[in-house]
Amino acid sequence: WLATAWSAAPGGLVLTCVVCSLFASRENGAQIGMSFLRGILLAVPVAFFVGQILLPQWSGFALLCLGMGVPLFFGALGMANPKIGATATSYCLHLIVLVAPLNTMTFDVANFLNSAQAMLLGVGAAVLAFKLLVLRNPAWHGRRLRAATQSDLVRLTRRDLRGAETWFGGRMADRLLQLARHYTALPEAERGRWDDGVHGLDIGDELLHLRMCLQVAQVPVDRAQREYLQQLESVLAQGPGPGRGQRLDAAGHTFIQALQQLPSSDPLRLAVGAVLQLQRSWAKWCQRQEEIHGVA
């Protein structure tokens, strides 16, 4: 721009910034940018015909409405269709910008082509930026989601039970939706991130079930319970991996023995079952890591 002193370059730069700022947070920013680019490509010939051929021969507000209203009407019909809504919106927007209706019209083909070229280059640069600068790599994003899941599981060992189920369930539902969007974009070896989310949800639900059963059974917080929850917190913080599937067995066995010494009740039996299910779920998660990464 500085070297060529291109007068229309600021318009293209503004469009690049607008498209990037609007769609950088979207998963399909490049796809939306391409829809905008298609809308501009459709708007350029229509705007040239209306603004450089028809309007110089017409005069009056009624004819201006006729010249712009007909192509904008078809664009509005396209905006009602979700599949082509972005393209139709871009078409209508840039048709108005390229025709530039004013009280005192000036018709300049060179200026029109200059502005159209700047629009195409500006949106094209934004699409190219989305393609080249991948800020949401699926593999990297999956690792972040797994780390966040482990952090929430650790917090569940000591979080107040009031509202804990809603808190954990809502966060996990959002993560599973994100993992599902990335599932097809990942190679076969990396699709275990979805399994990580499912196993994390299973362990979190079972941990909440265990703590609720202990609360209903009015089990006193003794040394065995504290040691089990501390061991569970430590194991969850380290995460699953090859050779880690038995790390809950000893603490779980000791805790079950302590529970069996208390007066029998239905909540207590459910608590024992929850401890056993936690061990099985953890072992299954670690076994899945062995299948993906091999045994260390």
pLDDT at residue 226, as a whole number: 86
pLDDT at residue 277, as a whole number: 92
> What whole-number distance in Å separates Cα of residue 281 and Cα of residue 287?
10
DSSP states of 239-274:
---TT-TTTTHHHHHHHHHHHHTSPP-HHHHHHHHH
pLDDT at residue 27, as a whole number: 67
62-85 b/e (C-beta count within 10 Å ≥ 16 → b) = eebeebbeebbeebeebbeeeebe
pLDDT at residue 41, as a whole number: 92
pLDDT at residue 296, as a whole number: 45
> What whole-number distance in Å separates Cα of residue 180 and Cα of residue 178?
5
Alpha helices in the chain (DSSP H): 9-23, 29-48, 61-79, 85-99, 109-132, 138-156, 164-183, 192-216, 223-238, 249-260, 266-293
Structure confidence by residue, pLDDT tens digits, 117-161: 888 888 899 888 888 876 666 667 778 888 888 999 999 888 888
pLDDT at residue 261, as a whole number: 87
Residues 6+ apart with CB under 8 A from 79: 85, 88, 89, 92
**Cα→Cα distances 164→7, 14, 64, 115, Å:** 59, 46, 62, 56
Residues 6+ apart with CB under 8 A from 132: none
pLDDT at residue 2, as a whole number: 66
pLDDT at residue 103, as a whole number: 78
Tell me which residues of the chain have a pLDDT lower than 70. Answer: 1-2, 4, 27, 134-139, 182-192, 292-296
